[in-house]
Amino acid sequence: MKQQCIISTGETYMKRKLTAAGAAGFVSVMALAGCGGPPLIYNGQELSEVEKSMEEIDAAWKQSVANGVEATVSDDSRCYLQVNDETVAETAVCGPIHYLGNDETTWDGAQWEAIAAGKDKFSLKSETSFVPNQQLQANTDLYRPDDKEPPAEMALKEPDAPVAEKDKAFWLPVGQAPVQADSSNAKPGILKSPIGTVSVVSTEMSNRIGGASNRQQAPEGTQFLTINFSALTGFEPSSDVSAMAVVVGDKTYPVETVDGQSVVVPVSGDLEKALLRLTYDGLDQDLSLSDLSRVDESVAAGLYSDLETEPKESESRSGDRRINEAEADNTFSGSLNYKVQAERLAYDQERKWPAAGMSWLKVNLSTNTIGPEWDGKGYDRGVYGLTKTIETPTLQIAGKSIAGELGDVDNGFFGGGQEVWYQVPADSPQATFSADVKLVGVLKSTRSSAKNAPPSVEHVYQIRDVNLEFAPKAGN
C-alpha cells in the first residue's frame, strides 16, 4: 500500500458548489499522494490501511442503500473522510443521496471505531449504521485515497412518489407542514364568521409534500399550495350554511373536511391570485393567499368592528313621561315608564347579513303604562280599553336620520319590549334613538263612574335623545 501524505497546500483545490441542505459553501477535495509527507492522524494516532478502511465503508454503505431504502444515488456517490490538515474527523460522509420524503439532496454520516494496528497506529473500522441528513463538517476537506471526487451534479432527483388526486384537498399530519422562515412576528390573515375565526399564518408552494411514509407529488400541470392555519374555528364542513374553498381564477377547489392545521390543495393557474374563500349563509369572504389580506374589507364588516356589542350606560336610556302632573279634576292623567336596550350584530339568523360595510343595530324599547284615565270630580273616573303602538322609531347617526323597522315583541318582565332594527355603519360608535309611543282607547262604560268622561282617548308619549354610545373593545 502506498504511504499517504499531504501534497502542498496549493494542491488542495475548490470543487463545485454543494446544493445539499445544510452544507454551505463549496466542497473542498484534498489531494494526497505517496510522497513521504505527514501521515493521516486520528485521535492523535497515525492511521494505517486507510484504503482498506474506505473499501469497507463503501461496501457497507452501498449495502445499506440497497436494503430497501428509497433513495436516489449517483454512480459517483461514495464515502469520504473529512480531513482538517492531516487530522481525520470522527465522522465520515457518504453521498450525495436524495431520500424519498426529503426536499434536498443530503449526505449520510458514519462513525469510526479505532482499531489498534501495531505500535502507535490505528486502523479505522466504520460502524454498520448510517445517519441520514448530515451536514459536512466545517473547516474540513473531503478525501479518498483513490482521489475520486463527488459527482459533477450534486443535486439528485428524488425517487418517484405517488401522484396526488387531482383537484382534491388533503390535510397533513402534525409536523409535516413545509419548513417556513420565522413568522413569529408576521401578521396572520384572518377571516371571521358568526361561528368563529379562520387564521392563516403562512402558505407554501411545492411540487412534493409529506414525509417518506406519505410522500405525494403534484398531478401534472399543478403545484401543491399548502395553507398553514393557527386557528380554524369559523368553518363547519357538516353545516349546510358553512363552506371553505381555494379559488384560482374561475377554478374552485373545495375544502370539505378539517383534519389538522395544514391543508394541501393541488392547484393550477396564476397562483399570485389564489384566494381562500370562507362562505357563511350565502356570503363569501376572500383572503388573498399572496399577502394574507382581506380582498374586500366592507364584506361582513361588523365581524371586524373594534366596538363593544353593548352600549355604555347612559341616564337617557330609561325614564318616565306623564300626561298631567297636577292630576286635576275633569282631565286625563297617566304615565309611561321606558327602558331602552341595544345590541350591535354583525349577522342575524333571521335577517341574515346587513349590507356591505354595515352592522345591525337592534334596539329593544320596553314600556309600562298607567292610564290614561279621566279624572272626574271626587272619586269619579273614566276607564278606557287601550291599544299601544310604537311610531316613528328613528336613529340619528353621523348626522343622518335612519328610520327603523319594527321586529318582534318581547313580553318580558318589565312590561314587554318592542324590537326596532337598523343598519348602521359598522365603525360608528354613537347614535341617538327617538320614538313615539301612541295610546288609543275607547271608554269602558261598565267600569267608569265619571258621567262626563270623553268617549275616546288618544295620547302620544315622546321619547327623545336616548344616547347609544359604544366603547372600544378591551385590548384595542
Burial class of residue 364 in the structure, from the number of CB atoms within 10 Å of its CB (0-12 exposed, 13-18 middle, 19+ buried): buried
Instruction: Indicate the SS3 state at residue 271.
Output: helix
Tell me which residue of 316, 284, 275, 437 sits closest to 372, measured CA to CA.
437
pLDDT above 50 (res 390): yes
pLDDT band at 283 (very low <50, low <70, confident <90, very high): very high
pLDDT above 60 (res 265): yes
Average pLDDT score over residue span 190-211: 95
Bridge partners (DSSP) listed for residue 336: 321, 369
Residue 298 vs residues 39, 78, 376: alpha-carbon distances, Å: 76, 61, 61
Report the distance separating Cα 337 and Cα 415, nearest Å.
10
pLDDT band at 37 (very low <50, low <70, confident <90, very high): very low
Tell me which residue of 362, 366, 333 sits closest to 347, measured CA to CA.
362
What is the model's pLDDT at position 416?
61
What's the half-sphere exposure (Cβ side, CA atoms, 13 Å) at 459?
23
Task: Report the percentage of the chain scoring pLDDT > 90.
Answer: 67
Report the distance separating Cα 318 and Cα 9, nearest Å.
94
What is the model's pLDDT at position 113?
81
CB 333 within 8 A of CB 375: yes
Neighbours of 469 (CB within 10 A): 15
Exposure string of 138-155, with b = 16+ CB inside 10 Å and e = fewer, is eebbbbbbeeeebbeebe
> Per residue in 244-259, pLDDT tens?
999 999 999 999 999 9
Average pLDDT, the chain: 87
Residue 101 is placed in which grid cell?
420524503
* pTM, two decimal places: 0.79
Report the distance separating Cα 187 and Cα 293, nearest Å.
10
Average pLDDT score over residue span 433-452: 94
pLDDT above 80 (res 128): no
Report the range of poorest mean pLDDT among 186-200, 220-234, 397-411.
397-411
Tell me which residue of 265, 298, 273 sits closest to 284, measured CA to CA.
298
What is the model's pLDDT at position 413?
53
Tell me which residue of 304, 404, 380, 393 sits closest to 347, measured CA to CA.
304
What is the model's pLDDT at position 335?
95
Instruction: Indicate the SS3 state at residue 12.
Output: coil
CB 347 within 8 A of CB 301: no
Q: Which residue has the cell 358553512?
A: 242
Exposure string of 258-273, with b = 16+ CB inside 10 Å and e = fewer, is bebbbbbbbbbeeeee
> Per residue in 129-172, pLDDT tens?
899 999 889 999 999 988 898 888 889 999 999 999 999 999 99
Q: Which residue has the higher pLDDT, 28 or 125?
A: 125
pLDDT above 50 (res 178): yes
As a whole number of Å, the CA-based R_g of the chain is 41
Average pLDDT score over residue span 313-317: 95
Task: Report the percentage of the chain scoring pLDDT > 70.
Answer: 88
